[in-house]
Structure formats: C-alpha cells, structure tokens
C-alpha cells in the first residue's frame, strides 16, 4: 500500500504582532501574530528543520529515494537548494535532490509528485513570505516549512494516511505575480479570481471524490489553502462538506506561509486526526489541486514529535517591528566597526560537507572519545586516523559556560555563544539561537538546529547552532 509514511513541520520561533505594525506605521490595526523566520533562517534551513522532524523515526532516512524542495523564495537561483537539504539530512548520494522553485503552487506540485512516485519520496515545502512594510503580504504572510514522506510501497514503513485519490486543475491565471527580484507580489482585483478558484476547487474535489467513490459528506477534515484568502473562504463555505469539517487556517497565529501553507495545515490536521478519517486537502493557485487521504490505525503511534500547535504555543513574545524590518533587510542599520563577515570558501566547505551540513563529528575507535569538529588525531588518546563517523544533530547537551558577544558581527546583536557538553560526551562552542540572554546560563539544556549563519559576498553560509529545549515539544529527531 502506498501513502503517507511520515511528516513534520517547522514553525519559526519568532512572532510579529500585527498591532505593532499598525502602531508603527499608523495603519488600521490587525489582530493576531505572524510567524517570522529568524535572522538566521531561510527557506533552505527551515526545510531542513521540517525534514529532520519528518525523518525522526529510525531507518526512514535510508528509505528516501528522492527529495523535492518546493519554495517561492529560493535561497539561490541556478544553484540547487535541495542539495543543501540533502546534505544536512545525510541522504545517500544517489538520492535525487531537486528544487521546485519560484511559484507558490510548487508546494502542491511537490506533494502530488511525491504522492504518485514509484519510490519513497520526501517533499519539503518551505516559504518565507515578505512584502513592503505595512502591506497585506507582510502582515498576513507567515514563514514556515513542512515535510512529507510518501512511500510504504513494498513491506516498508507503516502508512499513516493512504492516498485515496488526487486531482489537479491547471489554469493560466493572472491573479498574482512577481517579477524576479521584486520585494512583493502584485495582485489583480481580488473579486476577479474568486469565482474562478471556486470553480476549479469544485472540479478537482469532485474528480477526486469520484475516483475514491466518496461523498462530500464523508470528508472529516477539509483543508483549504491558498494566497487568495477570499477564494479560500468561499471554497471552505461552499465545498459541500459538513460545516464542522472545515479546518481553521492558522493565519491568526502564524500567518499564511504560501508554498508551505498546505504542508503546515495538513501537518496540523495529522497531529490530531483519529484513525480512519478522511482529509481533503484543497490547494488554490493557478488552478486547484486536491489530495484525498484516509488516516490509518498507524497514525497515532507515528505522529510528528513536534506538533504544529505546540510550536505555535512555544513561540516567542512578539518581536519589535523594527527588528523584523532589519532582519528582512528593509531597515538598513549601522553595522559594527568590525571586518565584514567572511564568506564560506567552496573547497573547505565541500571537503567538510558531512560536518558542516550533517553535523557529523567523529568517535575515536581506540578510546571512544567524541570529537567535534572531526579531526584525524584523537584529542584524548592521540590515535591517528582511527575515527568513525558520529552524527550529532540529534544529541542534546548542557551549557558548560557562555557569553554574550556584543562586538561580533551578527544581523541580530548581541551574539549569544555557548559551550555545549553533549550527552554521552563531546563538546562544541557555537551560537545559541531562538533565545534571549536569560536562556544563556550554565546548566541550560540545548538541542541543535540547522541555520543560515551569514550571507557574505553573496554566499550563504549554513551551519548548526544550539537552541534551548522548550517544553511542549518532544525531541526533534533521532537520526
């Protein structure tokens, strides 16, 4: 049986209150908050975090046959972004990693492609929604990522949701567009596309339900996603499903994460759906797409360790709007009088891919000492070339000592730095992120997270940081 075998979501820690935007700019007050990718996050790093959660179960990584990264905000053009995700996940080098990048609809594309692939496929949906200050894109947008593994084809991992049917309608439609490099997308008069989307959704839903031999009343969870909020509301209201089946879109709490929104909403439903329930995922954008899933008895035992709701609850107190603007590059602040950050160099980064992306340290085969970063000579017994790979991304640790560096170059000063002693041995000094100075204390518990540390000379640098272990979320990944 084929179907969904794993999923995970990443909701960034930071929040922006819409009221603060209104207070700063003197616009009409909005309610709620949006999720904000950290200054050290982009669609690639968020994709890694979501995928790590999805692949937390033992043995899953080895089953992945291909990986698609869908985003409307790719960290790079020309260069593949999915390969960074592939490297961070330590997938086999023969696993295809490719981007589906540029349009919000690529999220639907990745999900459908994964769902009907003949090999187990990881689809990662990641987006970072931005816009001009005060605009609807900025206030109602959100950032986040979600990852899904479809597979279970031959005696594989248990399927947690069967794919009953899917259908797509494609339509060349000028309702939203953005020239490459433009800061925000532009939108045609909303009412123009509303009815068109309602019609597309109806066609796709009808087709999918017909394939599955189901009635609309059979749908237990109706998830409607898309950047056209008005059309989404219409479809939710007129789809013909039971009223209580309509799933809230989380926009009040985290905003609309565009490409990733279908993923975040589907993950949220999977976090709480009972076995044997029917989920209809309806995605609007340049047409419509529908995936019909039925949860199985395996779902409760294989839910994500980091539920969407828990990540929403664990979010920070709202950040100042000025901080948001400077993180987004919309407020150009005075840099410290320090040398410009060093860009990564291609050869050392490539030589050390396992360490830099995979956080693979070394364990001495002679004396058992863990060593981060990996080197040829053991720091303890001095054996040479007796090192075995020691993946560390899932190991938690305790802060041995710390500092707050107010001189260092960082997009969000001051830089928090901790020396982490890992459970089971090994030590590493790194940045502490998603945290305040109060979190940097001796004895604090931390876990590792994949981040974009800096962009210098037009090159992104990715590496791992520590973040506080917060209550409400279980261990992120287990390798």
72 or 432, CB closer to another protein?
A: 432
Q: Find the shortest distance in angstroms from Cβ 396 to another protein.
A: 14
How near is the Cβ of 344 to another protein at its closest, in Å? 5
Nearest-angstrom CA–CA distance, 352 and 364 = 18
Give me the least distance between CB of 330 and another protein, in Å please.
Answer: 25
End-to-end Cα, the chain, rounded Å: 25
The nearer residue to another protein, 255 or 344, going by C-beta atoms, is: 344
Residue 238: CB minimum distance to another protein, A: 51
Helix (H, G, I), strand (E, B) or coil at 34: strand
The residues, ordered by sequence, that sit 6+ positions from 408 with a Cβ below 8 Å of its Cβ are 336, 338, 414, 415
At 241, phi and psi to the nearest 5? -85, 170
Q: Give the distance between the most distant pair of CA atoms in the chain.
A: 72
Nearer to another protein, 222 or 361 (CB): 361
Nearer to another protein, 88 or 291 (CB): 88
Instruction: Output 13 or 464, the one with its CB closest to another protein.
Output: 464
Nearest Cα residue to 267 out of 111, 34, 90, 469:
111
Closest CB to another protein among 180 and 443? 443
Minimum distance from residue 427 beta carbon to another protein (Å): 5
298 in Cβ contact with 276 (< 8 Å): no
C-alpha–C-alpha distance, residues 460 and 115, integer Å = 31
Residues within the interface to another protein (CB under 8 A): 336-339, 342-345, 348-349, 352, 355-356, 371-373, 379-380, 400-408, 415, 417, 419, 421, 425-431, 442, 453-454, 461-463
Query: Least separation, in Å, of the C-beta of 347 and another protein?
Result: 9
Q: 223 vs 241, 284, 315, CA distance in Å?
A: 11, 11, 23
- Smallest distance, another protein to C-beta of residue 400, A: 7
CA distances from 227 to 179, 249, 400 (A): 17, 11, 46
Between 112 and 444, CB nearer to another protein = 444
Distance CA 181, CA 272 (A): 39
**Residue in the block written with tokens 């040479």:** 384
Which candidate, 6, 9, 79, 33, places its Cα nearest to that of 260? 9
449/25 Cα distance (integer angstroms): 34
Task: Give CA–CA dist 280/265, Å, rounded.
Answer: 11
Which of 405/475 has CB closer to another protein? 405
Cβ closer to another protein: 232 or 416?
Answer: 416
Which among 183, 203, 187 has a CA at the least distance from the CA of 195?
203
Q: How far is the CB of 449 from another protein (least distance, A)?
A: 14
Q: In angstroms, give the least distance from the CB of 127 to another protein.
A: 25
Shortest Å, Cβ 286 to another protein: 38
Contact 386, 395 (CB under 8 A): no
For residues 393 and 144, give the distance between their C-alpha atoms in angstroms, rounded to a whole number: 20
Which residue lies nearer to another protein by CB, 268 or 393?
393
| β-bridge partners, 294 | 162, 278
Residue 279 or 448: the one with the smaller Cβ distance to another protein is: 448
Closer to another protein by CB, 298 or 380: give it: 380
Residue-wise over 446-472: b if at least 16 C-beta within 10 A, else e?
bbbbbbbbbbeeeebbbbbbbbbbbee
Helix (H) / strand (E) element for 96: namely strand 96-101
Q: How far is the CB of 432 from another protein (least distance, A)?
A: 11
- Minimum separation from the CB atom of position 356 to another protein (A): 5
Report, in angstroms and rounded to the nearest whole number, the Rg of the chain calculated over CA atoms. 22
Q: Give Cα 352 distance to the centre of its chain.
A: 24
- State the angle between helix axes of 261-272 and 106-115 in degrees (0 to 180), rounded to the nearest 10: 50
């Amino acid at each position: 049986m084929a179907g969904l075998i794993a999923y995970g979501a990443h909701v960034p820690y930071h929040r922006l209150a819409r009221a603060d935007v209104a207070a700063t700019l003197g616009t009409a007050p909005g309610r709620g908050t949006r999720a904000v990718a950290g200054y050290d996050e982009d669609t690639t790093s968020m994709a890694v975090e979501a995928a790590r959660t999805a692949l937390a179960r033992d043995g899953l990584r080895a089953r992945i046959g291909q990986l698609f990264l869908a985003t409307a905000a790719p960290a790079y053009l020309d260069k593949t972004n999915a390969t960074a995700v592939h490297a961070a996940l330590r997938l086999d080098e023969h696993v295809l990693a490719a981007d589906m990048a540029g349009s919000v609809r690529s999220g639907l594309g990745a999900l459908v492609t994964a769902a009907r692939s003949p090999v187990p496929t990881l689809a990662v949906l990641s987006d970072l929604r931005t816009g001009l200050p005060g605009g609807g894109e900025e206030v109602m947008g959100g950032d986040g990522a979600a990852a899904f593994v479809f597979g279970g084809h031959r005696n594989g991992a248990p399927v947690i949701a069967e794919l009953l049917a899917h259908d797509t309608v494609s339509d060349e439609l000028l309702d939203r567009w953005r020239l490459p490099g433009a800061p925000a997308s532009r939108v045609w008069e909303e009412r123009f596309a509303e009815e068109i989307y309602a019609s597309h959704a109806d066609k796709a839903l009808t087709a999918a339900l017909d394939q599955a031999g189901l009635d609309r009343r059979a749908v237990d969870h109706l998830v409607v996603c898309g950047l056209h909020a008005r059309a989404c509301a219409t479809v939710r209201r007129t789809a013909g499903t039971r009223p209580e089946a309509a799933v809230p879109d989380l926009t009040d709490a985290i905003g609309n994460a565009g490409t990733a929104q279908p993923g975040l909403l589907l993950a949220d439903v999977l976090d709480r759906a009972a076995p044997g329930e029917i989920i209809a995922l309806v995605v609007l954008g340049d047409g419509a797409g529908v995936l019909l899933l039925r949860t199985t008895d395996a779902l409760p035992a294989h839910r994500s360790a980091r539920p969407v709701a828990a990540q929403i609850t664990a979010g920070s107190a709202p950040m100042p709007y000025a901080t948001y603007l400077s993180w987004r590059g919309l407020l150009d602040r005075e840099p410290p009088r320090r040398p410009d950050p060093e860009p990564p160099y291609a050869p050392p980064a490539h030589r050390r891919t396992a360490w830099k992306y995979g956080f693979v340290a070394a364990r001495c085969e002679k004396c058992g000492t863990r060593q981060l970063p990996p080197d040829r000579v053991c720091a303890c017994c001095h054996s040479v070339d007796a090192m075995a790979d020691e993946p560390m991304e899932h190991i938690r640790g305790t802060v041995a000592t710390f500092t707050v560096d107010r001189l260092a170059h960082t997009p969000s000063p001051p830089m928090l730095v901790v020396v982490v002693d890992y459970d089971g041995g090994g030590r590493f000094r790194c940045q502490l992120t998603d945290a305040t100075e109060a979190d940097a204390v001796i004895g604090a518990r931390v876990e590792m997270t994949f981040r974009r540390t800096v962009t210098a000379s037009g090159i992104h640098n990715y590496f791992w940081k520590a973040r506080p272990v917060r209550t409400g979320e279980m261990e992120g990944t287990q390798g």
